[in-house]
Amino acid sequence: MLSYKKSLKILKETKALLEGHFLLSSGLHSDKYIQCAKLLSFPHKSKKICESLAQKIKKEFNNFDIILSPAIGGIIIGYEIGRILRKETIFAERKGNKFILRRNFKIKKNSKVLIIEDVITTGKSSLECSKLIKKSKAKFIGLACLVNRSNKEIIKNKKIVSQIKIKINLFKKGKLPFYLKKIPIYKPGSRNIK
């Protein structure tokens, strides 16, 4: 398995982990930003991280049937982990403001489902996916992600397995530290595209 230090190095090399002054979609400011799509644009580097995460998943979630990932961020990660562990892999897509299963994807009753994402922050996407599992009368066994930047339990009694856990400082506009006030603001993320 890759160490924390080696995983962090790969994130920085691929510019998946950026440092600066970021205005997040939540309205909060941060000194770091994670964009796993940048990591995935270098398959030879992301392969190492995905293989390491697959080993951790195998150790923690010994027995499961299917991987469910939220679109769009989780699709590639879910696929790659599914390929490595030889598991069926599907994804949920947004229709309006909620996740649904399309493309004739199904979660079989009583199947054991693992949710896989790229980055877990608030856990909103995972929580929405867990509702699809419950609706299908299947068993939600836990969560896995490349990067866990949450600071709380996302879904009660559900373990999160991650390749790397990163603490990211968040600040309100009126309470910015001096070092951030000196740096130009960048507004990243897919929700900010007009």
pTM listed for this prediction: 0.87
Domain spans, the chain: 4-192
Question: What topology does CATH give the domain 4-192?
Answer: Rossmann fold (3.40.50)
Rounded to an integer, what distance in angstroms lies between the CA atom of residue 119 and that of residue 147?
Answer: 5
Sequential pLDDT tens for the chain (194 residues)? 889 999 999 999 999 999 999 998 778 899 999 999 999 999 999 999 999 999 999 999 989 999 999 988 899 999 999 999 999 999 999 888 889 889 999 999 999 999 999 998 877 888 889 999 999 999 999 999 999 988 766 666 678 899 999 988 889 988 999 999 899 998 886 544 44
Rounded to an integer, what distance in angstroms lies between the CA atom of residue 105 and that of residue 102?
Answer: 6
At residue 88, φ and ψ (nearest 5 deg) are -60, 140
Contact 149, 165 (CB under 8 A): yes
Contact 141, 68 (CB under 8 A): no
Rounded to an integer, what distance in angstroms lies between the CA atom of residue 87 and that of residue 80?
Answer: 10
Tell me the CA end-to-end span of the chain in Å, nearest whole number.
40
Contact 97, 158 (CB under 8 A): no
Contact 102, 148 (CB under 8 A): no
Rounded to an integer, what distance in angstroms lies between the CA atom of residue 110 and that of residue 134?
Answer: 10
Q: What is the pLDDT of residue 27?
A: 85
- Of the candidates 123, 122, 163, 139, the one whose C-alpha atom is nearest the C-alpha of residue 28 is 122
- Of the candidates 31, 13, 35, 14, the one whose C-alpha atom is nearest the C-alpha of residue 22 is 31
3-state secondary structure 127-178: HHHHHHHHHCCCEEEEEEEEEECCCCCCCCCCCEEEEEECCCCEECHHHCCH
